[in-house]
Amino acid sequence: MRFLLVEDSDDLATAVASRLAMDGHGVDRAASLGEARDFLAAAPYDLILLDISLPDGDGRDFLAQERGARRDIPVIMMTASASVSDRVATLDQGADDFITKPFDFAELQARCRAVLRRRQGVVDSRQHFAGFIFDALAATLTVGDEVRELRARELRLLEILLSRPGQTYSKPHLIDRLFSFDEEVSDNAIEVYVGRLRRKLEGSGARLETLRGVGYRLIPE
């Protein structure tokens, strides 16, 4: 998945981006609301991590503008305030969740997973499809009695494909969803991850199909 992190503290932004990258997410960092708007105009995002206090404004005003424009990207607000009234107001303004600074990175990762599951209409971390079970939390794919571990990018790729089975995703779209602007991506990067995931799916009733010149889709055999 591709995240936009809007945070003006370089130390915190570096730490959060590094941790999320270890999970296979592409993370773009904006230090101001102006930069955040530029990023949003240039790329699609699955989740925004938004600080409240930024050099050029209040993150809550930015959130209100996004919701007013009917942009439905999930948003987790990051706040130093422990006030219940502030948190309630943030949720009422359209935030999907909030986390109070300082926070534990494991909690942030869990909140990201929970928000993305809710937006996809998935209650459980496990998804059943065409003879396999995908557990995003455990980073595993189970075929029959065999549990196969997924590397970070394989996991994120499968999440995207499973969000809309049968839909074709172009290579540029998958690159946009999986990598940040700062990452150097070779022309065959997606092909490599598709090949790895295809091997992990062997023996199941699913097929990761390549449509030449068009893209990739996950379908039942």
Instruction: Give the pLDDT confidence of 122-171 residue by residue, as tens digits.
Output: 666 688 999 999 988 788 999 999 999 999 889 989 989 998 899 999 99
Give the residue among 160, 210, 208, 165 at the shortest CA–CA distance from 25: 160
> Per-residue pLDDT tens for 1-18?
899 999 999 999 999 999
User: What is the rounded distance in angstroms from the CA atom of residue 52 to the CA atom of residue 61?
Assistant: 9
Q: Flag whether the pTM goes above 0.85.
A: no
User: What is the rounded distance in angstroms from the CA atom of residue 182 to the CA atom of residue 170?
Assistant: 21
The conformation of residue 6, written as its DSSP 8-state character, comes to E
Query: Position of tokens 């219940």?
Result: 84
What are the helix (H) ranges across the chain? 10-22, 33-42, 59-68, 84-92, 105-119, 152-163, 171-178, 189-200
Q: Report DSSP letters for 8-70, one per residue.
A: S-HHHHHHHHHHHHHTT-EEEEESSHHHHHHHHHHS--SEEEEESEETTEEHHHHHHHHHHTT
> Per-residue pLDDT tens for 103-115?
888 889 888 988 8
Was domain 2-119 assigned CATH 3.40.50.2300?
yes
Dihedral, CA of residue 34, residue 70, residue 176 and residue 1, to nearest 10: 100
**Residue 23's pLDDT band (cuts 50, 70, 90):** confident
Give the residue among 132, 136, 100, 99 at the shortest CA–CA distance from 120: 136
Q: What's the whole-number average pLDDT of the chain?
A: 89
Residues of the chain within CATH 3.40.50.2300 domain(s) are 2-119
Residues of the chain within CATH 1.10.10.10 domain(s) are 126-220
Indicate the CATH number for domain 126-220: 1.10.10.10
